[in-house]
Amino acid sequence: MFNNMTLSDSAQQEADLPGSVLLIIGMVVVAACLFLAMSLVQFQSTDQPLVTLVVSNLEQSGVENPVTAVLLNFRSYDTLLEVAVLLIVALAVMPFSLQDTRLPFIKVSEPVERSLVLEAFLRWLLPAIIVTSGYLLWTGAVLPGGAFQAGALLAGAGILLLLAGHHSFNFNAPTARLLLVVGLAMFLLVGAGVVLSSGIALAYPVAMAGMLILVIEVAATITIAAVLVLLFCALQIEPLGPQPNRVEKEKHS
Amino acid sequence: MISGELFIDLLLGSGALVTAILCLTAKDLFQAILLFISMGLLVTLAWVRLGAWDIAIAEAAIGAGLTGALLIATRRQLNQ
Amino acid sequence: MTQALLYGVFGIALFGIGLFGVLAIAHVVKKILAINICGVGVFMVFIANASSGAAPDFVPHAMVLTGIVVAVAGTAMALSLVVRINALEKPEEGA
């Protein structure tokens, strides 16, 4: 079943599983779904202890948005590990970029083909995106929003900037590496630092909770945006391995 | 007679299902990617209907926007 | 039929569609799309369940928010592996 994977864009090979196998797979999947649906109908969650816990402890969390409170205070281990997962993914795709570490983070160059509409559009859009992202980050304490949404928006701005072609990012530069780790580093630093006052890792003192959460969120936003842009860059640039251009150059010389 | 709210829920849910099926049965990869993005947007509306505003914002930015950009970049690399 | 149950069933159906896609489709990028559809189905069951009570439960909301970001990171890593495999296989086809 997993041996005949294909990468080609033409879809002729898609139906190369025999019909009988497809039928069996379909029947198994349908049976599993029916079982899940039945258990969902029978499942009655009458009491929700977590709801009352979140609501009654919201005042001590330092923020008013319950989702942010859960993410960055009550279950901050989840978010800490998530930022760590992002860093691991970033490290996994890093080998794709072979740029020099001494080159600057942002390189400005003349694009191969200019798209005037996108450039003019970006002139207005980029500042708006950055301001919106900051707003989402700030308002995350009270209203829906927060580090993830702000980071995703910033990453969108970075990808648009890449698509315009004037700028390119070198994620091997020291600045870029700093951006990639600042979220996790700040999270760990604050999490370890509060041990001094409360004795438990990641248990913020109530008086400073709001400020500490904001500090962590700013750092996490930067890291999330940087990692997401790096992921896009890793797909954009020519992957290492066989590099036809280089071979041709060697032949010419 | 079903109420208006239930009608919207049914429409959003079945719309997401249909776009998911069309996405996986599409012959062209580009078509599949576009249908996947549309499914993300329909699901975003479903999150709003379920009162999960934070997730709706994140899904609109990540699920529909960034994933689509990543998939289209991959397709360009594969076609080179 | 309540809203929570309706979306729960839709979530399970999405999961089923994605699962079938993962098993039946040969094209790797579409397999990745199918895994994502699976994930969306799981998220929908979570959120539908969270909204079933009188007040929404915010813990599943936070977990799904984390899950969305991790899902896009995993997708990106899978796609970069696809691009790499494709780059390694191409010259052999041409030669």
Q: Residue B64's pLDDT band (boundaries 50, 70, 90)?
A: confident
pTM of the model: 0.87
Confidence of residue A135 (pLDDT cuts 50, 70, 90): very high
**Angle CA(C90)–CA(C94)–CA(C95) in degrees, nearest 5?**
115
If you write DSSP's letter for every residue of A127-173 in order, what string do you get?
HHHHHHHHHHHHHTTTSS--HHHHHHHHHHHHHHHHHHSSEEE-TTS
**B23 pLDDT exceeds 60?**
yes
Interface confidence, given as ipTM, is 0.88
Q: Which residues in chain C have their CB less than 8 angstroms from residue A13's CB?
A: 26-27
B49 touches chain C (CB under 8 A): yes
pLDDT tens digits, residue range A165-176? 888 888 888 888
Contact B55 C56 (CB under 8 A): no
CATH fold, domain C3-89, is Helix Hairpins (1.10.287)
CA distance B50 to chain C (A): 6
| Residue % of chain A over a pLDDT of 70 | 83
Q: What is the pLDDT of residues A5-56, one digit of tens each?
A: 666 554 445 556 788 888 998 999 999 999 998 888 887 666 677 788 887 8
Is there a contact between C62 and A75 if contact means CB atoms under 8 Å apart? Answer: yes
Q: Which residue has the higher pLDDT, B47 or A203?
A: B47
pLDDT of residue B30: 92
Q: Six-digit token pair at A11?
A: 């879809």
Chain B within 8 Å of A221 (Cβ-Cβ)? Answer: no
What is the residue-averaged pLDDT of chain B? 90
The mean per-residue pLDDT over the stretch B13-17 comes to 93
Instruction: Report domain extents, chain C.
Output: 3-89
Q: Does B11 touch chain C (CB under 8 A)?
A: no
Distance between B39 CA and the closest CA of chain A, angstroms = 19
Record the tokens describing residue A29, joined without a space.
């999947």
Q: How far is B52 from chain C (nearest CA, A)?
A: 7
User: Do A237 and A97 form a contact (C-beta atoms < 8 A)?
Assistant: yes
The pLDDT value recorded for residue A85 is: 92
Q: What is the pLDDT of residues C14-73, one digit of tens each?
A: 999 999 999 888 888 999 999 999 999 999 999 988 887 777 888 888 899 999 999 999
Which of B24, B47, B62 has its CB closest to that of C69?
A: B62
Which residues of A are less than 8 Å from B57 in CB distance?
Answer: 136, 144-145, 149
- Going by C-beta distance under 8 Å and a sequence separation of 6 or more, which residues neighbour residue B65? A152, A156
